[in-house]
Chains A and B, each alone.
Chain A
Amino acid sequence: MSQEQERLKIVIVGHVDHGKSTLIGRLFHDTDSLPLGKAESIRKACEAEGMEFEYAFLLDALLEEQEQNITIDTTRIQFRTQKRNYIIIDAPGHKEFLKNMITGAANADAAILLIDANEGIQEQSRRHGYLLSLLGIHQVIVAVNKMDLVGFNESVFRQIKQDYTAFLEKLGVSPKYFIPVSAKHGHNITTRSPQMPWSESPSILDALDSFALPPSQEDMPLRMIVQDVYRFDERRIVAGRVEAGSLSVGDDIVFWPDRKRSKVKTIESWNATAPQVRASAGQSLAITLEEQIFVERGQIAGHPDSGPLEAREFCANIFWIHDEPLSLNHPHTLKLGTQQVEARVLKIHRVVDSSTLEISEQPRMDIKKNEVAEVTVRVRRPLAFDNRDRCPETGRFVLMQGERIGGGGIIHGADYASGQHRAKSVTSENITWTEGRLSSDDRAGHFGHRGAVIWLTGLSGSGKSTLAIALEASLFQRGIASFVLDGDNLRHGLCTDLGFSETDRKENIRRAGEAAKLMAEAGLVVVTSLISPFREDRLKVQEICKASGIPFAEVYISAPLEVCEQRDPRSLYKKARSGEIRGFTGIDSPYEPPQNPDLEIATDKNTIKESIAHLLGFVLELSNRQKTFSAEDELPASNI
């Protein structure tokens, strides 16, 4: 058998006309890799276009590319050195072909970025540098080309090196090499050039040979992405690919995000000499399971204790390459591995021009072509994923714009230790998700309004229950399906097992919050009436609702303690004062008033009628205005 040869994929990038295709032609010529007759056919094509011999024609095969002497689309070609084989990916340098540059570069292990010594750093020199860092390509050679045109002048090279290093530093990128070259005349390509004795850099080929192969993903936690489930005979075969880690027959595995668990029974194969018992990163495989659980395309299998994260909201860096901008709150199909889910950009934190690195200071409603942005993404169903730096294959996604890829995203910032992603809890959400077929938009369309949670908080006797019941009736009269969740009533059923210890009170609020969220998801406007004295608990409830896209408003029903104590409708203050009940809010347990309530109703200053009118106007606006998927973000209450 032939000795296994190493292979490294390198992409050649840089501004248009800085000599990418010429460098490739030169590498081929100097490593004697051109096929017979190829130089001759290039010569003919050059003559037809009336130009001198042009190496670029080796790859610029399309007639339009040759006529205009530009590269339109990415291409691949192989050559070899003493050390290993190289697969060269040529990427166009024109701004309008950025999508093709990314198509090529996304597959590379290393890159050569060319800068014309004569023209200096140009728009695409910077943009390509930025994109390489986003794509996770860290092995970079910056080749300052056409040194012959500047008389092999050292100071020209030093200046470009200094300027470009300063630019890359802002991105946290440092190239492995800066090399002065002349691709056309072969200086510093395969050997060091005598014309530039001042240069300390190796030749391009020696620099390439010093690069490492991409690290194996085999020692990472298992990530098998499910492509399909086949039922060609009585068996159910789960087909997919191991993107990281390894899997063996007999392993317990869990399928995220549903978290159904089973055991690997067999690894299927065709025409194999012996049954396969193990598969590792990079391998396509088909398995059968011991227990018949529901598995479908898109799921990610992992080992029980080292699975991916799951959430409906996460932070990402997005680069956008479509003519149509990516709009805030607009639905797009998100594809990650084989998962496909509707997603929206919920928040644009920061937009950066990919060439100047200029940060947009204005709040932005969209991300335009060639921009890079830091965003929060919300998906319709829980998504299983990783941080890109932990597992590249499950840490990046694309957003579709119609039938085409509109841009790519890189996930970062997820916290594995706590099983949480940023502040968003995943473990505190329901563990098994059953996604209803109807969307919240469907329901809103049917009811004529959205579900929402109106959280009334205040001291005992402040008037919460009275207002809640009156509000419910008023909403009902206006055709808005509403329901009151009363703290006392909850304690008779759902929370009957809870007492008044601090833990139990917290749990009481959490249950009330979850119940309110479910009812709001079903389309109701839920009005809660609970003292809910602690800020932290109310914030938690707000997060529960927000995470499910439910509009949430904190309404502070205020009245001075003396007034409440005077009202004392159920003689509770009296009992508390006498010590008959302990831990009573306002007497021997604190009440933390909201700092920025969405609405405050002072019941000592307003009549019931005035208070209701005030509340009603607020709620009508909230439940009608919130027709879009995630506009609850506009609520001041969400600005936490």
Chain B
Amino acid sequence: MTHLDQLEAQSIFIFREAYHAFSKMAMPWSMGKDSNVLVWLAKKAFCGRIPFPVLHIDTTYEFPEMLEFRAWAQKSYELDLIVKINEEARARGIGYETCDPITVTHELKTVALQQVLTQYKWEALVTGIRRDEDSTRAKERYFSPRNADFEWDYKDQPPEFWNQFTTSCKPGEHVRVQPLLDWTELDVWEYIEREKITIPDMYFSREGKRFRSIGCWPITHPVESPASTIREIIEELKTTKVSERAGRAQDHHERNAMQKLRAKGFM
């Protein structure tokens, strides 16, 4: 088995363990590259039919191209798509025009997620986070419990070994299921290339710049890159020393910003 085969097999195993353990679950989907790999793996795990809803937390600061992609993918992958906007926060005037990125990310992503989770009473959420994205994500588990306040108790995580996971939770709590945890950015791209997975065009270079990670348009910046094909992106990643989330402003707002965001429920 190749390295990608091993990663794929483990991700599929995790998907199936989660689906067996949790009767109510959903998969947040950002339309980004990792998210699309996740959808692809779910299709494989369940023989072409994803047996739970896919959730898009729409911050209302989405790139228009991404919304077009959403419509295409929903149809193409036959997704049971739920779109959630934190209307209440938007009505209060929360937005990048008025607030700092930590506050906006928290309100429009994390709180929105809390609202929709409460509404549907999901016990598990499948996320596309990877260890190599951020050093706090590196400390995650495949099955990572969150309390009713969405908090991640990173100081006392349950043990997890020999493919035995946290597969139960108390009412109000939920478990984050993270099938891509062991994948690297390079693995994701090599898998996209191998499987010919369609991804948004924004990842490819236009006028010498491309997006390496995509979030809300006011706080997401492209990086210098001539890479306009998947192969070129892969070659670039093999030599670059710029970190993936360098273009994501909320991560760098203050020291340990990601830890603070994540402890409160951010992915």
Contact = CB atoms under 8 A, between A and B. Distances in A.
A77 B51 CA distance: 33
Interface string A313-348: 000000001000000000000010110000000000
A74 B132 CA distance: 14
Contacts of B3: 4-5, 7
Contacts of A72: 139, 154-155
A78 B184 contact: yes
The 8 closest A-B pairs by CB, nearest first: A61-B135, A106-B161, A36-B241, A99-B159, A284-B12, A270-B48, A75-B138, A73-B139
Contacts of B255: 44-45, 48
Contact of A405 (B1, B19, B159): B159
Contacts of A45: 255
A232 B159 contact: no
Nearest to A227: B16
Given A4-B3, A404-B158, A283 B190 contact: no
B155 A64 contact: yes
A297 B45 CA distance: 16
B6 interface: yes
B43 interface: yes
Contacts of A73: 139, 154, 157
Interface in A80-114: 99-100, 102-103, 106-107
Contacts of A372: none
A63 B256 contact: yes
Interface stretch (B58-66, B81-89, B109-117, B162-170): B162-170
A102 B161 contact: yes
A227 B19 CA distance: 10
Interface string A577-617: 00000000000000000000000000000000000000000
Contact of A241 (B13, B20, B162, B166): B13
Contacts of A2: 190, 234
Contacts of B51: 232
B149 interface: no
A273 B9 CA distance: 18
Contact of B136 (A61, A76, A78, A227): A61
Contacts of A103: 141, 157, 159-161
A342 to B, nearest CB: 15
B243 interface: yes
B246 interface: yes
A241 B45 CA distance: 11
A284 B9 contact: yes
B130 to A, nearest CB: 10
A299 to B, nearest CB: 13
A70 B19 CA distance: 36
Contact of A34 (B164, B168, B241): B241
Contacts of B12: 284
A158 interface: no
A36 B158 contact: no
Of A4, A239, A397, the most chain B CB neighbours within 10 A belong to A239
A38 B246 CA distance: 11
A244 to B, nearest CB: 13
Interface in A91-148: 99-100, 102-103, 106-107
A468 interface: no
B139 A62 contact: yes
B131 interface: yes
B190 A282 contact: no
A286 B259 CA distance: 38
B71 interface: no
B49 interface: yes
Given A103-B157, A284-B8, A403-B166, 16 more contacts: A4-B2, A7-B3, A37-B243, A37-B246, A58-B135, A61-B138, A74-B139, A102-B159, A227-B16, A227-B20, A228-B19, A241-B13, A268-B47, A270-B43, A271-B44, A405-B164
A161 to B, nearest CB: 30
Contacts of B241: 34-36
A106 B20 contact: no
Nearest to B51: A232
A77 B48 contact: no
Interface in A176-230: 227-228, 230
Which of A34, A37, A61, A282 has the most chain B CB within a 10 Å cutoff? A61
25 contacts: A7-B3, A35-B243, A48-B255, A59-B138, A61-B139, A63-B259, A75-B138, A78-B132, A100-B157, A100-B159, A102-B159, A103-B161, A228-B16, A230-B46, A271-B43, A271-B48, A282-B1, A284-B9, A284-B10, A286-B47, A398-B161, A403-B169, A404-B166, A405-B158, A405-B160
Contact of A62 (B6, B44, B131, B136): B136
Contact of A36 (B20, B48, B184, B242): B242
Among the interface residues B135, B136, B154, which one has the most CB atoms of the partner chain A within 10 A?
B135
A28 to B, nearest CB: 12
Interface string A4-47: 11010000000000000000000000000011111000001100
A284 to B, nearest CB: 4
A59 B44 CA distance: 33
A408 interface: yes
Contacts of B19: 228
Nearest to B235: A2
B17 interface: yes
A45 B51 CA distance: 44
Contacts of A284: 8-10, 12-13, 16, 45
A517 interface: no
A61 B259 contact: yes
Nearest to A283: B9
A44 B254 CA distance: 11
A527 interface: no
Given A4-B2, A403-B166, A270 B47 contact: yes
A36 B243 CA distance: 7
A134 to B, nearest CB: 12
Contacts of A59: 135, 138
B47 A232 contact: yes
A11 to B, nearest CB: 11
Contacts of B158: 99, 403-405
B9 to A, nearest CB: 4
A237 interface: yes
Contacts of B168: 403
A100 B136 CA distance: 15
Nearest to A80: B238
A335 B241 CA distance: 42
A396 interface: yes
Contacts of B13: 227, 241, 284
Nearest to B43: A270
A16 to B, nearest CB: 16
Contacts of B139: 61-62, 72-75
Nearest to A407: B159
A225 B19 CA distance: 16
Contacts of A44: 255
Contacts of A283: 1, 5, 9
B182 interface: yes
Contacts of A61: 134-136, 138-139, 256, 259
Interface in B211-255: 234, 240-243, 246, 255
Contacts of B17: 227, 338
Contacts of B49: 232
A38 B9 CA distance: 32
A411 to B, nearest CB: 12
Contacts of B190: 2
B4 to A, nearest CB: 9
Contacts of A7: 3
Contacts of A281: 1
